[in-house]
Amino acid sequence: MNSKLGPFFDPRSVAIIGASAVPGKPGCEVIRNILANGYEGRIYPVNPKGGRIMEIDVLSAIEGLPPDVDVAVIILPAAATAQALMACAERGIRHFVLASGGFAEVDEAGALIQEELVRIIRERGLHVLGPNTSGHTSTPRAFTSTFFPQGKIRRGRVSYIAQTGNFGTHTLKYILTGEHFGVARVVGLGNKIGIDETDALEYLGADPETAAILIYIESFKRPLEFLKAAREITRRKPVVLLKSGATEAGRQAAMAHTAAMASPDRIVDGMLRQAGVVRVSDYTDLILAGKAFSMLPLPAGNGVSFLAPSGAMLATLSDFCVRLGLHIPPLEAENVKRLQDISPSYIRMRNPVDIWPAALSSGVESAYREGMEIVLKDPAVDAVVPVLMLTRETGVPDPAFIVELAKKYPGKPILVTFSGARECMDEYKAALEPLGIPTFPEIEQPFEALSILMQCGRAMTRPR
């Protein structure tokens, strides 16, 4: 494991420089988050007023800190950050989260302050996340340094590296409240004056708590080192990356966000392909992929079967699969016959499966259950997507049959999507996802997620 990142993710003690007793202020919310997650290490709030915050004694000066603090979270205005960093270094602290903005991403004055921070870091041999970061999270240690009001953060198998605060703040909040998967680690890079994406990738690549790594990046600080690390790590676990700045508008937005100088996009594409990193193009892909990696095995290949209640869906989704690099294989003759046996004679069965005529003749649950099992048994099919039509009027089958099929065919991912009444979809999501079966409200999403899984599986088995 990367020793310079170890204390960030397994801290025995933490100091909060700029702690506050005022609810809503970052210096208050970070302490509330730490306590909400059940952190068992020592917490040292620092504020010139002293007193107590949430039943914890507050030190009135940095000089009062003990010499063995693992991490200091500095939540002070940009102009006061350098002095606080130096004072903490004098107390022997070597690992820092610099939460404030107002540095090179803002103006020339902020850039000068950032240069001073860089000088201190180099002279003192410090390890720094940020500045302009929303912090980091380590659920195996029940710790977070984020100041966004998160509450308890659900533990999971995926980790995020982000050159944005979103995955420590509102995007993580959505995952915790709108999805049923959790995170292992989250690293907010900010302006990257110390710890960068390569450091984080190396740590997570060796981290047994992390099964897959998802990255949002605006620029590469050390592209050759990143490429070298990724080339080896992607043989052991999936790495998915979204890079902004593919257009001039995106490059300008990245510069305003974190002072990032974006690399030419064609160079990035080539670099990532060489390294086995799967590049995605949409922000929501990082959430879809996080859900898929949390609940599913990687498919053995790119063969997919899907069952839908509409011929139009079959046609448009077939086109979509081809664009995504998914293959819709012909089924074995015996399996085609079995599908024909459960369907009216006027319908010609094949892959993909027009399931609704069978549902009308034998019932929704029976048709989907039998149809899914037939295609799951087929050796050419590596994953199955049922498009369930759910309404009270036409019948809402008990989702237990999907759970049973997932257990019976554990090596073949099942990704569920819907059409029909939204309340029925939400009920299915609530029933299936806690049991490890992902659902997707939009019919294209499971295929996008499956394509990412397939590409990662291919990258992990690529020849040397």
The set of residues, in sequence order, having a beta carbon less than 8 Å from that of 76 and lying 6+ positions away, is 17, 18, 84, 100
Residue 102 reports pLDDT greater than 60 = yes
Domain co-membership, 279 together with 315: no
Q: Is 41 domain-assigned? A: yes
pTM, rounded to two decimals = 0.94
The 8-class DSSP code of residue 260 comes to -
Domain co-membership, 179 together with 195: yes
Last residue of a domain, one of 233, 260, 293: 293
Quote the tokens at residue 404. 């049973």
The alpha carbon of residue 418 and the mean position of all alpha carbons in its chain are separated, in whole angstroms, by: 23
**Mean pLDDT estimate for the chain:** 94
Residue type, 270: G
Domain co-membership, 260 together with 382: no
The set of residues, in sequence order, having a beta carbon less than 8 Å from that of 425 and lying 6+ positions away, is 390, 418, 439, 441
Q: Are 175 and 139 in contact (CB under 8 A)?
A: no
Residue type, 385: V
DSSP structure string for 317-366:
HHHHHHHHT-B-PPPPHHHHHHHHHTS-TTS---SSEE-HHHHHHH-HHH
Query: What is the predicted pLDDT for the residue at 248?
Result: 65
Helix axes of 364-377 and 333-341: crossing angle, nearest 10 degrees:
170
Domain co-membership, 257 together with 304: no
Last residue of a domain, one of 275, 293, 311: 293
Domain co-membership, 155 together with 20: yes
Helix axes of 170-178 and 285-295: crossing angle, nearest 10 degrees:
40
User: pLDDT grade, residue 1 (50/70/90)?
Assistant: low
Residue 229 reports pLDDT greater than 90 = yes
Residue 279 reports pLDDT greater than 70 = yes
Q: How far apart are alpha carbons 416 and 292 in whole angstroms? A: 11
Residue 262 reports pLDDT greater than 60 = no
Domain co-membership, 187 together with 317: no
The CATH number for 452's domain is: 3.40.50.261
Quote the tokens at residue 44. 């040292």
Residue type, 173: K
Query: What is the predicted pLDDT for the residue at 164?
Result: 87
Each residue's pLDDT tens digit, 133-173? 999 999 999 999 999 999 999 999 999 999 988 888 999 99
Domain co-membership, 416 together with 456: yes
Q: Which residue has the higher pLDDT, 260 or 65?
A: 65
Quote the tokens at residue 65. 């800190």
Alpha helix ranges (H) inside 37-153: 78-90, 108-124
Query: What is the predicted pLDDT for the residue at 249?
Result: 62
Query: What is the predicted pLDDT for the residue at 429?
Result: 97
CA distances (Å), origin 11, targets 59, 123, 359, 427: 19, 23, 56, 40
Nearest-Å Rg of the Cα atoms of the chain is 25
| Exposure on the CB side of residue 239, measured as CA atoms within 13 A | 31
Residue 2 reports pLDDT greater than 70 = no
Domain co-membership, 108 together with 92: yes
Residue 251 reports pLDDT greater than 70 = no
Q: Which residues is 307 bridged to in the sheet?
A: 353, 386
Q: Are 242 and 218 in contact (CB under 8 A)?
A: no
Domain co-membership, 92 together with 174: yes
Residue 324 reports pLDDT greater than 70 = yes
User: pLDDT grade, residue 250 (50/70/90)?
Assistant: low
Q: Is 194 domain-assigned? A: yes
Query: What is the predicted pLDDT for the residue at 289?
Result: 98
Q: Is 120 domain-assigned? A: yes
Q: Which residues is 14 bridged to in the sheet?
A: 43, 71
Domain co-membership, 343 together with 253: no
Query: What is the predicted pLDDT for the residue at 28?
Result: 98
User: Which residue in 175, 176, 134, 171 sits closest to 151, CA to CA?
Assistant: 176
Query: What are the two backbone dihedrals, phi and then psi, of residue 154, each rounded to the nearest 5 degrees?
Result: -70, 135
Q: Are 355 and 367 in contact (CB under 8 A)?
A: yes
Residue 254 reports pLDDT greater than 70 = no
Last residue of a domain, one of 293, 315, 346: 293
Residue type, 112: L
Domain co-membership, 250 together with 358: no
Q: What is the largest CA-CA distance in the chain?
A: 84
Name the least confident of 243-252, 254-263, 296-305, 341-350: 254-263
Q: Report the pLDDT averaged over residues 110-114.
A: 92
Q: Is 406 domain-assigned? A: yes
Number of domains in the chain: 2
Each residue's pLDDT tens digit, 391-426? 999 989 999 999 999 999 999 999 999 999 999 999
Domain co-membership, 363 together with 255: no
The set of residues, in sequence order, having a beta carbon less than 8 Å from that of 428 and lying 6+ positions away, is 388, 390, 399, 416, 418, 439
Query: What is the predicted pLDDT for the residue at 255?
Result: 54
The 8-class DSSP code of residue 395 comes to B
User: pLDDT grade, residue 246 (50/70/90)?
Assistant: low
Q: Are 57 and 65 in contact (CB under 8 A)?
A: no
CA distances (Å), origin 297, targets 27, 212, 410, 450: 40, 11, 8, 10
Helix (H), strand (E) at residue 240: strand 239-243
Q: Is 1 domain-assigned? A: no
Q: Which residues is 186 bridged to in the sheet?
A: 137, 160
Query: What is the predicted pLDDT for the residue at 271?
Result: 85
Query: What is the predicted pLDDT for the residue at 334?
Result: 98
Q: Which residues is 217 bridged to in the sheet?
A: 243
Q: Is 224 domain-assigned? A: yes
Q: How far apart are alpha carbons 276 and 458 in whole angstroms? A: 9
Domain extent for 339:
297-460
